[in-house]
Amino acid sequence: MKFLFITLFPEQIEQAAGHSIIKRAVDAGLVEVSCINPRDFAADRHRTVDDTPFGGGAGMVLKPEPMVAAIRAAKTKLPAARVIAMCPGGRTLRQSIVEEYAHSKQDLILVCGHYEGFDERIFGWVDEKLSVGDYVLTGGELPALIVMDAVARFIPGVLGKMASAVEDSFSTGLLEYPQYTRPVTFEGIEVPEVLRNGNHALIDRWRRKEALKATWLRRPDLLGELNKTDAKLLAEIKQELEGAENG
């Protein structure tokens, strides 16, 4: 899968793609990362990419001509790609959107803004606006990198064979269950007995229950209709929590 970033700061993208799992995926040819810099499409000798906003106000706005020229160049390289502009006003990224991008196998052109934002007229060349959350950053590069990172995990071979993106938190619809490794006792805190006795049916049940408990306590909005088994586990959890409150 190909990810093309439209950015004034390609070094930020290249540096982020040069480590760990994404680097390995690039080296293995599973992921291709490239950048197009709108500054290369600026018409004047100062290579200006921003200007003051009509109507006044603080900050600078990205000029439409170099942005659209960069998007056109990107579309020539990747004609079938989906063009996504990173901005706080877009649809908020969630795991279901990540999976939608991954399963479509469509290459992604990720348009990164800087300064106050884009000239509104560029959105005619964009398929969709996407946000990574309700907060404001200095640039769209980190959000675009988040999109690539989350999508790349679903490309077969990117995670080692030990890990599977579809079994992860959120893809299961629940928060993560607690994980432990050696030593058995750390600072007097023991790894739960059930994880050490090798009974995989009991381990699966414990993990499902802990995932349900974490979700019920911290993100009850994620719990939809529960099947019979999960409903029974959640009833147990609520009873235990009541017991802990009253005891």
Identify the active-site residue in 10, 88, 141, 210.
Answer: 88
Q: Please measure the distance between the N-terminal and C-terminal CA atoms of the chain and give it in whole angstroms.
A: 55
Query: Does 87 interact with ligand 4GS (rule: CB under 6 A)?
Result: yes
Query: Does 131 interact with ligand 4GS (rule: CB under 6 A)?
Result: yes
Nearer to ligand 4GS, 136 or 244 (CB): 136
Q: How far is the CB of 13 from ligand 4GS (least distance, A)?
A: 15
CB atoms within 10 A of CB 171: 16
- Per DSSP (E only), the strands in 73-127 are 82-92, 108-111, 117-118
Nearer to ligand 4GS, 62 or 78 (CB): 62
* d(C-alpha 206, C-alpha 210), whole Å: 6
Give catalytic status of residue 134 as yes or no: no
Considering only 114, 153, 209, 213, the residue that binds ligand 4GS (CB under 6 A) is: 114
Identify the active-site residue in 14, 99, 119, 168.
Answer: 168
Considering only 62, 88, 108, 125, the residue that binds ligand 4GS (CB under 6 A) is: 88
Burial degree of 153 (CB within 10 A; 0-12, 13-18, 19+) = buried
- Decide if 143 contacts 117 (C-beta within 8 A): no
Residue positions annotated with a catalytic role: 88, 116, 153, 168
